[in-house]
Each structure stands twice: as structure tokens, then as C-alpha cells.
Amino acid sequence: MKIYLWNQWCWFCWGLVLYSNGIWGQQFDLRQWACSDGVSRPYVVYTPAGTSKTARPLVVFLHGGIGASGVKKDPVEYARKSPWVALADEGNFCLLFPFGEQKASWFDPVGTQMLLGEIEQLKWNGVADPERVFLTGFSDGGSGVFYLAMTTPDPFAGFIPMNGSIKVASMLGKEGIYPENMNGKPMYVINTQEDILYPLEQMEAAANYLKAYNPHVTFRPLAGGHDMSYFAMEKPALLSFINTHQRTFLTEISLESSSQGKTSIGWLTLKKIDTSATKAQWHTSYKYKIQNNKADFGLKYDYSYRGVGVRVAGFKSDTATAKRMGVQVGDVLIQMEQDSISSPYSPLYYTARKRAGDSTSLTLMREEHPLILYGKFNTGYPYYLLNNKKPSGKIQGRIEGKYIYLKASCVADYQIDKRKLPRKIKKVILEK
């Protein structure tokens, strides 16, 4: 409670300064947010130059590398370098740059509460239009967009995940993710054709799966690697996406959650799930499989090594390709076929051009003796896109005239917020 009041007071003071000036000058405003774990973390708000009598749209950008042990050293400089700044000037919208880390990621309660709290403050102070808040991000940030779109979609008018992965969101997320929770909100998915981390064919298959639950998913397979080099060419489409969408009232809501806390979408709140109950027939699991044909040596590297090549620290499994080829812990890899290894990223660039089952060779140093090993990458395999292992509760509601029709599965308690309804409801009817 003290943390919340302190954040409210800081933002109230900032709002008075902006109001008294009457002018929104172009600025990168560095602020601190007191998180639920007691740690204060920075965030940056970018405001375009010029005056504004009304709240502007807000685009929230989630950065990548969320597994780092601390936040970025220079948040303002990071924000200044973002290509989103020029687009914000052109589109006259504000930007929010939250800064997470391993202990406050986009996939856990601390990071999620931090992000949502910062957004609420911007809405409360009239900076952000509550109906036009958009969530975007790159790499881990793009994966974070997928996670929040399917766990906490309510504050947002639309989603723009860039070079992210639904599988990563499902693996790292503390809660299950459910495509129906998007409730038809627009999503503009960008992946690239030479991404060294996330093969295009797998990302496109995942996006097509989302389309089965949300017809407003757009998939853009663009040229490039694991970077945002496409941004300049994509600016008109991104600006159009922001200008043509806003949050709308939901007459039908689907809400599923594995959280033991409250989860809300629109006027419907799932207050408590019942983990001992039997699922209703319509409460089905997401059991979609995608074929993984990505080449992978299955190696773990020693990143403390500073010599030529990369040193092997271990294997991802006992059946890893490199282990079958005869690689041992402590070996120093110096070449993959004709590709010399000049950095820890070299293996990624090499395997990005290969496929499961392809022939390969490794040149290495073992106890100062050169050795060449030959073999083939492991064959491809199917995997489940969503890794929802926790029990969940699900509730669906729709408004027809003065009636609300509800059906629930594994739900112990729920709530309807009448303040968010456009008309007086005569009766709530429970269906099976």
C-alpha cells in the first residue's frame, strides 16, 4: 500500500508540472517505479513535441534480453536509440519503455505488475488515452507481448510482437497462456526469414494457429535476421495499425486462467479457480504440435573462455547431435564445416542455414590436438506449442439485450462488474 501511494504521489506532482506548463515539450522522462518485490526500477516516458489538449495514444515497448541479472545501465540512451521514437513523432503518440530483468520479467508477477502499474499511472494522469494503449516488443519483449496478450489483455487495444516466440512465452510464463483470452483483439505479428533463433516456418505455423481463435491476427514474414532492420519499411503499416484500432466494449468474453488470484477481462472477473473440479466438455486443452526441423548441435558453451573458437561446457541432452558425433566437454570448437568460429554467435549463424538431418562436420582442438568429426544433425521432432501444465478455470459470458449468459468450468467464484456494463442487466443466466 505504501509503494502504491508513493507512486501515485510522484505521478501527481509530475502531472501538475505538465498541466501548469500547458505545453508538452519533446522529452525523455526518466522515472522510478517501486515494484512489488521492494526494488525500485527505472522506466522512460517519451512525449513528442507540441501541445495536446487530449490524452495521446500510448505504445509500450518491451525490450529483449529479459534474463539479464540487472536492468539496462542507461535507460534514457536506450530509449533514444529506439526506432519507435521517430514513428511516435510522426504519429503523435507517447512511448513507455519499462525496464525488466531476471527477477522482474515480462513473464512473472513482479514484472507484470510493474508494467501494468506504469501504464495505469500514465492513464490516471491524462498522458495516455485508456482506449488506445498498444503493446509491442522485440525478441524476449515480443515473446512477452504474446504472454500478456493471452493472460492480461484487458488494458490494450492491440498487440505488435516482433521476432518473438509463443513457445518461449509458454515456457517462461508463470501462468498458462490461452489464445481465446485475446477475445478478438488485433495482433500484428512480425517475424523474419533469417532469424537465427526462431525459424520462420515454426513462427508462421504458430501464428496461423492463433488465427483459429482470433481472426484479427496478421502475420508479416519480412526479410532480415534477428533484428529490427525492417522497421523503416514497415513504419506505414505500423502507424496504420495504431491509428485504426482502439479498445472496444466486449459483448462476449472468454476468460481462462491458472492463477489463484483475480483475473479480469472487461466486465468479467475470475476470482477463484477450483483445481479439484472436473473440466466441462467445452473446457478443452490446447494440444497443437509444431514440427521442429531446426538444426542444433545440442551444446552448452563456456562463455568465460577467451581463446580462439568456443569451449564446450556440456550438452543439452544425452542424445545431442554433438555428443553422438564424439564431442567431449572441454573441447574447443574452431570450425563448423567451412565456417570459422569467431564469436559465440557463429554457431547460431551456421545452424540457421542447416536443417535437421543434414550432414555436418566439426573441427576442434582436444588437449591441443586438432580433430575433425563427421556426422548428421538429429532428425526433426514435433513439440507442443503451449506448455500449460497448471490446472485452470474457465468462464465465458455474453450479453444479449438485458441478459448475461454465463458458463463456467473449474470456477469457484466469479464477479460481474456492473459499472462497466452499458445498460442495466435484468438477469444473469447460468448455462451448462
Confidence at residue 3, expressed as pLDDT on a 0 to 100 scale: 52
Report the pLDDT value the prediction gives residue 108, as an integer from 0 to 100.
96
* Contact in structure between 130 and 236 (CB atoms under 8 Å): no
Whether the per-residue pLDDT at 50 is higher than 90: the answer is no
Structural domains of the chain, with CATH: 2-248 (3.40.50.1820), 252-293+382-432 (no CATH), 295-379 (2.30.42.10)
Rounded to an integer, what distance in angstroms lies between the CA atom of residue 121 and that of residue 90?
Answer: 24
Q: How many CB atoms sit inside 10 A of residue 424's CB? A: 7
Task: Indicate whether 353 pLDDT > 80.
Answer: yes
Is 208:219 a contact under the CB 8 Å cutoff? yes
Residues 6+ apart with CB under 8 A from 236: none
Residue 112 dihedral angles phi and psi, to the nearest 5°: -65, -45
Quote the CA–CA distance of 322 and 389 in Å, as a whole number. 31
* HSE-CB of 413 using CA atoms within 13 angstroms: 6
Res. 18: pLDDT tops 50: no
Confidence at residue 19, expressed as pLDDT on a 0 to 100 scale? 38
Position 23 scores a pLDDT of 36
Compute φ and ψ for 133, nearest 5 degrees.
Answer: -105, 125
Per-residue pLDDT tens over the stretch 172-224: 999 999 999 999 999 999 999 999 999 999 999 999 999 999 999 999 999 99
In the block, residue with C-alpha cell 513504419: 235
Largest Cα–Cα distance in the chain?
83
More reliable by pLDDT, 34 or 423 = 34
How high is the pLDDT of residue 11? 47
The percentage of residues in the chain with a pLDDT greater than 90, rounded to a whole number, is 88
Amino acid at residue number 100: G
pLDDT digits (tens, 9 = 90+) for 355-367: 999 999 999 999 9
The confidence band for 342, taking pLDDT boundaries of 50, 70 and 90, is confident
Q: Assess whether pLDDT exceeds 70 at residue 347.
A: yes
pTM equals 0.91
Tens-digit pLDDT profile for residues 377-425: 999 999 999 999 999 999 999 999 999 999 999 999 999 999 999 888 8
Q: Is the confidence at residue 258, as pLDDT, over 70? A: yes
Mean pLDDT of the chain: 93
Q: What is the pLDDT of residue 255?
A: 98
Q: Report the pLDDT value the prediction gives residue 343, as an integer from 0 to 100.
A: 86
Confidence check: pLDDT of 302 > 70: yes
For residue 129, list its beta bridge partners: none
C-alpha cell, 123: 492513464
- Answer whether residue 20 shows pLDDT above 60: no
pLDDT at 371: 97
**CA 79 and chain centroid, separation:** 18
Q: Does the pLDDT value for residue 339 go beyond 70?
A: yes
Can you give the pLDDT at residue 21?
A: 33
Contact between 294 and 356 under an 8 Å Cβ cutoff? The reply is yes
Express as a percent the part of the chain with pLDDT over 70.
Answer: 94
Bridge pairing between strands 427-430 and 403-409: parallel
| Three-state SS annotation for the chain | CHHHHHHHHHHHHHHHHHHHHCCCCCEEEEEEEECCCCCEEEEEEEECCCCCCCCEEEEEEECCCCCCCCCCCCHHHHHHCCCHHHHHHHHCCEEEEECCECCECCCCHHHHHHHHHHHHHHHHCCCEEEEEEEEEEECHHHHHHHHHHCCCCCCCCEEEEECCCHHHHHHHCCCCCCHHHHCCCCEEEEEECCCCCCCHHHHHHHHHHHHCCCCCEEEEEECCCCCCCCHHHHHHHHHHHHHCCCCCCCCEEEEEECCCCCEEECCEEEEEECCCCCCCCCCCCCCCEEEECECCCCEEEECCCCCCCEEEEEECCCCCHHHHHCCCCCCEEEEECCEECCCCCHHHHHHHCCECCCEEEEEEEECCEEEEEEEECCCCEEEECCCCCCCCEEEEEEEECCEEEEEEECEEEEEECHHHCCCCCCEEEECC
